[in-house]
Amino acid sequence: MISAQNPVHCQPPVLDHTFTPSEIQELFSFLQSEPSFHSTSSSDTNRSVYSTEERKRRRMISNRESARRSRWRKKRHLEDLTNEVNRLKLQNRDLKNRLCLLTHDCHVVQRDSNRLLSESIYLRQKLAGLHQILAEITPLQ
């Protein structure tokens, strides 16, 4: 630790090289363009606070944008699901209508089949009766 009672003496280095006026101007312009990092003034504190405030503000804006995009994706997903539900309802209704028509056609075919089966039985019995009559008539001749 350095105390005020013991002063530190520094000797500046001796330069063997002298600078040209253009080099000196370049050095001064470089020093003037760089910001001072060693200042502890209230403006630096304000910049630090402002930077923190700015980061918070940017993060808040970013979070709001992210939430807005999330709400938009959720809304879009809900719309897609609603469209899918409507499409499936239409498809279900069409399938039910087709099933109803096929069931009706099946009943019609079964009714026709039963009618034809009954007619076939009746005609076989009638043919058997005609064969019997023919058999009775034929031996006599």
Mean pLDDT of the chain: 82
Q: pLDDT-based confidence at 138, cuts 50/70/90?
A: confident
- Could you give the CA distance from residue 100 to residue 14 in angstroms, rounded to a whole number? 109
- Measured CA to CA, the distance from residue 65 to residue 47 in angstroms comes to 26
| Region 97-115 average pLDDT | 98
Q: What is d(CA 124, CA 131) in angstroms, rounded to the nearest whole number?
A: 10
Chain segment 58-90, per-residue pLDDT in tens: 999 999 999 999 999 999 999 999 999 999 999
- What predicted TM-score, i.e. pTM, was given to this entire model? 0.48
Specify the pLDDT at position 25.
Answer: 72
Domain boundaries, the chain: 48-140
3-state secondary structure of 40: coil
**Which residue would you say has higher pLDDT here, 32 or 37?**
32
